[in-house]
Chain A
Amino acid sequence: MLQFAQSACNLLCRCLGITFVVWFTILFVIIIVPAVLEVSLGIHRFYIRTLCRVFEWATLQMELSAKQKNRQFSKPHTKGILAKSKPLSVQENMQELRSSAHSRRSEPQFDMGDVIYFCRKGVESIMDDEVTKSFSAQELESWNLLTRSIRRFPHRGLRLTFLWGLGVLIRYGILLPLRVLLAVTGIFLFVILSTSVGFLPNSKLRFFLGEKVHLMGYRFCVKSLTAFITYHNSENRPKNGSICVANHTTPLDVIILANDRCYSLVGQVHRGLLGMIQRAMVKSSPHIWFERAEVKDRHLVAKRLCDHAADKTKQPILIFPEGTCVNNTSVMMFKKGSFEIGCTIFPVAIKYDFRFGDAYWNSSKFGLVHHLLRIMSSWGLVCSVWYLPPMNREEGEDAVQFAKRVKAALAAQAGLADLTWDGGLKRTKVKDIFKEEQQRLYSEILLRDHQTQKQEKCFEDGTPEED
């Protein structure tokens, strides 16, 4: 009996051993070696195309099943709820409101119906507003077979539910462990190689090897996320000694961009694993890491950025002027700090295809590790990167106007909405100054009418104005 158990155990161990070896060999040959050597096997393309077809089929299935059961299949409206009308100013709106009641009075000063304007604007913003939309995950038009979006598509049918189950198995059983393994291998290799390069004397060889090591590290990360990136207009790739600005959706934007060329990153010094990676990065390539206390000192930050940018041999600095992650449907206000420095700006637009996985990091909902796990357990990361032609500050243009111009060009290229709201609204309340502006505009209308009425009275009486 014991012998039987022992031999069964041995057999099991041998089987597991063989499986492991086979698995690792496949991994090594198909993924790790190409990643190190910069070769592509075309597997990703096939994967993406297959998934696209599956999604289309899934939508068709849902529509059919809804028709069969005679239920309404409401496609989620991704373009907003309200019909957009021409935006009018406060004055124009008031005139419209009052003109319908014009015959009632000779010269309306204050109309009780004026509240209707504010009332309607208020309720419109309750039904749909730009800012809340930009800080919550994008809505899908059709289901992408992920658990997290399952709520919005209740009428799935048996076939789709089975497909979803299969998807869960594939994603959590095969893809996720594979990706985590890749990421760990990649980071491990990167830290070792980067530190070794750091021991070389300061020379061209060190610079060259440093870039190669960095690019290898980023390629590993990209493979571990199953990221399929298309770079457009590569002739506008950022050159040395400039600043590169991009829209921010997730911390992984850095990996997406750095996969193509090396950048100097700007950020706070962290502790733990991230800190170790940061230190390793600095050894082979110049990055700008700030201590927490230094971040508050704007002049210090500006000076270090300036010094780095002035050196034309140094890599371009990568900055995200929004200051926070936005959900990739719009671009929020660019902070003017990086536009004051005065060197060439290379704008880069990043647009994710969110059918394969939502890349937006909602930092108020989950932390960084959770976010990474979410991305690694979704189908993949498909995105397009557009390099825009370089821009310089023009004569008579101040930093704020320059920032607006760059933002408009970036938003137009990626097809994102161009908003003037501050990204800081994610966590803070809106400033009172905007409400005061609205109140001021309305007061002007009242006072102007009041003034006109007074003048008319004075001309009637024949007495000079008393103001």
Chain B
Amino acid sequence: MGSRASTLLREEEIEEIKKETGFSHSQITRLYSRFTSLDKGENGTLSREDFQRIPELAINPLGDRIINAFFPDGEDQVNFRGFMRTLAHFRPVEDNEKNKNLSNTEPLNSRTNKLHFAFQLYDLDRDDKISRDELLQVLRMMVGVNISDEQLGSIADRTIQEADTNGDGCISFTEFIKVLEKVDVEQKMSIRFLH
């Protein structure tokens, strides 16, 4: 029934993804069948068009920015590992994990990594700084045509003024973390699964 090469997920791969992302076995198999249902070209990777075909994502004002987060550094295709790595940012943080961290690297769904995901939505050129232009672009995406340029400009200026502590006119990642220190990021950027 068609030319499905190796569309079966091997146990070793599932184990590797489990270690890297922290998803459970059933979550990984479930997300794999989701991945294959989005993969219309049946070549084991997703392109930007495959994401844009999801209507709820297409009507999201920041849809394109979110899709971009799945494609690191100019690539056009994302495989299942990359897909899971990005989705891992939204895994809920469990309490027992905080003590169980065996590896030296931070888990993908830590508070810092979640905030970094949000930071990258603003940082279009990936230079680790949010400039006034970048902030304006994202604001324009979120409000569409409903707010004038001047009003938007003043909103951007006020935001940078409040956040920028070292006076360079841009918001760095550290300043971004400080701005959102009171927001419950662990809960707001987590997606609950049905087991």
Contacts and interface: CB of A to CB of B under 8 A. Distances in A.
Contact of B54 (A109, A115, A126): A126
Given A80-B194, A110-B159, A442-B143, A147 B1 contact: yes
Interface residues of A, number: 67
Interface stretch (A28-36, A269-277, A337-345, A433-441): A433-441
A372 interface: no
A139 to B, nearest CB: 7
B189 A120 contact: yes
Interface string A72-105: 1011110111110100000000000100111111
Nearest to B194: A83
B147 A125 contact: no
Given A119-B189, A430-B55, A446-B147, A101 B183 contact: yes
A354 B55 CA distance: 26
A123 interface: yes
A131 B188 contact: no
Interface stretch (A12-20, A148-156, A292-300, A382-390): A148-156
B100 interface: no
Contacts of A436: 144-145
Given A74-B29, A109-B158, A446 B143 contact: yes
A64 to B, nearest CB: 19
A296 B87 CA distance: 44
Interface string B54-67: 11111111110010
A57 interface: no
Given A72-B26, A122-B62, A450 B163 contact: no
A117 B180 CA distance: 14
A82 B66 contact: no
A104 B182 contact: yes
Given A100-B183, A151-B7, A443-B143, A119 B58 contact: no
A117 B60 CA distance: 10
B8 interface: yes
A118 B54 contact: no
A24 to B, nearest CB: 32
B37 A136 contact: yes
Interface in B3-17: 4, 7-8, 11
Contacts of A440: 144, 146
Nearest to B63: A122
A71 interface: yes
B181 to A, nearest CB: 8
A85 B142 CA distance: 24
A43 interface: no
A47 interface: no
A73 B62 CA distance: 38
Contacts of A79: 194
Contacts of A121: 56, 60
A1 interface: no
Contact of A439 (B143, B158, B180): B143
Nearest to A444: B146
A115 B31 CA distance: 24
A115 B138 contact: yes
Given A113-B183, A123-B90, A127-B87, A83 B144 contact: no
Interface string A34-66: 000000000000000000000000000000000
Interface string B139-152: 10011111100010
Among B51, B52, B147, B163, the one with the most A-chain Cβ atoms within 10 Å of its Cβ is: B147
Interface in B23-48: 25-27, 29-31, 33-34, 37-38
Given A112-B179, A131-B56, A82 B143 contact: no
Contact of A81 (B30, B144, B180): B30
A456 interface: no
Given A101-B182, A110-B159, A122 B60 contact: yes
Contact of B59 (A116, A123, A435): A435
A136 B54 CA distance: 13
A447 interface: yes
A421 interface: yes
Nearest to A439: B144
Contact of B55 (A97, A112, A131, A439): A131
B1 A122 contact: no
A322 B171 CA distance: 50
Contacts of A139: 33
| B158, B185, B188 pick with most chain A CB within 10 angstroms | B188
Contacts of A102: 182
Contacts of A127: 31, 34, 87, 191
B34 A81 contact: yes
A101 B1 CA distance: 54
A119 B68 CA distance: 12
26 contacts: A82-B192, A83-B192, A97-B188, A110-B158, A113-B179, A113-B180, A118-B66, A119-B117, A120-B90, A120-B189, A123-B66, A126-B66, A127-B191, A131-B54, A131-B56, A132-B53, A133-B37, A148-B1, A421-B55, A429-B52, A436-B145, A439-B144, A439-B145, A442-B143, A443-B143, A447-B147
Interface of B: 1, 4, 7-8, 11, 25-27, 29-31, 33-34, 37-38, 51-63, 66, 87, 90, 117-118, 121-122, 138-139, 142-147, 151, 155, 158-159, 162-163, 171, 176, 179-180, 182-185, 188-189, 191-194
Given A77-B30, A443-B147, 14 more contacts: A71-B11, A109-B155, A115-B121, A116-B118, A116-B183, A118-B66, A123-B66, A127-B87, A435-B59, A439-B146, A440-B146, A443-B144, A443-B146, A446-B155
